[in-house]
Structure 1
């Protein structure tokens, strides 16, 4: 089961140009306080704010000196740059999934979607990606980011290959038969030691909302029973692998790595 933090520190608000109706509806759905039109740095009644402004839905810490918002962004920023200047199938995640070894369109299950950045990369390389994010707060932010990206001419086709589902991916996996998807991708929450401002900001926020993925081993077991070709797990570079069978291959980056569990060879034909 997921270690769920105390949600009492979360509230919902909006800016003058934000979607007040959306914000109020989310407050009702999530059963958290609705603060109306506020400025995040002036809020002291909640430590965390789900916030609607002219750029969409975001999550941010409150109070004076709090870092800026965290949102699911695919058109600009890091995802936009990667879309325009990325390394194609030479990217580490693409190698881990096996895109250099097959011309077949793969159906990927991203069982721990978060802000959807890795799923977006895979979809930009032609994969069909089903995303699960069980935190209703992060799910709402991700849905908002995908909806905004779908209205962008350069991103619409990519987002069209991404399908966001509600609920818990572990429950979904446990109901499926073998070979239900080609590849399962797992990126469970782990303590991040990167001290960059962006990572620190995101992790501060995510920890309060998501907690730790204490069922990562169970996710791996369920994924191995469902995937047709392989399961890929993202881990800190020096961390121990998840409990389970031996890792088939490791693809390492500077701060993280991908553990690959191969089940059968990828098809080479289309």
Structure 2
């Protein structure tokens, strides 16, 4: 059985929603809901990695495992790697799953789909999820990155712009003539690859698109994708909080 470690990076500072992990959603904080969902998966262990004492104490209060990390990390991936180092698990871990701390409804099946990829020989370097684009709104939204993959399901490119460009069709007809995929920001890494990618300097494509995964592609790392049809609700703004509460209410009355 694979030994898969789940790490949830959670920072207090957020330009649009300060203290986001601690926001109450129907009686539980966002970070508590993320932890609960992750614990339903096949992960061997789930750990929160935070830079803030308030989040640290809160996670302990509901019985979660948590590690304090530096406040200076430029990305969640760097925070995940520091937490992994502090756990000092060595060769025991087959893969590390980076679970977004603002995804309170992440599905255990989505986590499991990534873990299962590491049963392959050889296992992937990095893995992530893709989901079919279903609406024009999704296709045009710069907040929902799109991904182009090859015949083996490996990522060729990620963009905030719809790709590919269909020269022979008007943009409003693109969805009818091509199957677009968007990226779901759940990552899995081999531990040795996680260490390597945290040493990389920011790359031109990453800076242009503001997408960290382009740094890895530009440096020659391979990202395996697997498809999901399950939806999640990320929390970035007060409007997202309202949407998440509506979702909770609809689930309660279902």
Which bracket does the TM-score occupy, shorter chain normalised?
under 0.3
Q: TM-score, normalised by structure 1?
A: 0.26
Q: TM-score, normalised by structure 2?
A: 0.27
Higher RCO structure (Cα 8 Å, ≥6 apart): 2
